[in-house]
Amino acid sequence: MAYWPKTLRGTIFALFAIVLGIPLAVIVAIALSGPLVWAGLALAALISVALYIWRRTINDARERAWVGEFSFGDVIASRRDRETLDHPAR
């Protein structure tokens, strides 16, 4: 799956959609069985897997790009250091 929700409501909705979607896809495939239907389902599955891999690759690259970068935590640490130098008796 290319996206998994972070909230409980979203997770329940996604699971509900999966539980209803898989049997519906199987029923439609059986009812319309033919090579075109099966090729379409295979293509949809391959596209889903490709999107999942693509999204994971982008997220991993973004995480690697942030390692060692200047962050808000660095700003807080530098301000605390500056305050300590300005007011050493505290």
CA atoms of 44 and 58, how far apart (whole Å): 21
Could you report the per-residue pLDDT of 36-51, keeping only the tens digit for each?
Answer: 878 888 999 999 999 9
- For residue 27, the 8-state DSSP code is H
Q: What is the pTM of this model?
A: 0.45
Amino acid found at 85: L
Could you report the per-residue pLDDT of 8-63, keeping only the tens digit for each?
Answer: 898 899 899 889 999 998 887 788 778 887 888 899 999 999 999 999 999 999 88
Residue 26: per-residue pLDDT? 85
Residue 5: per-residue pLDDT? 82
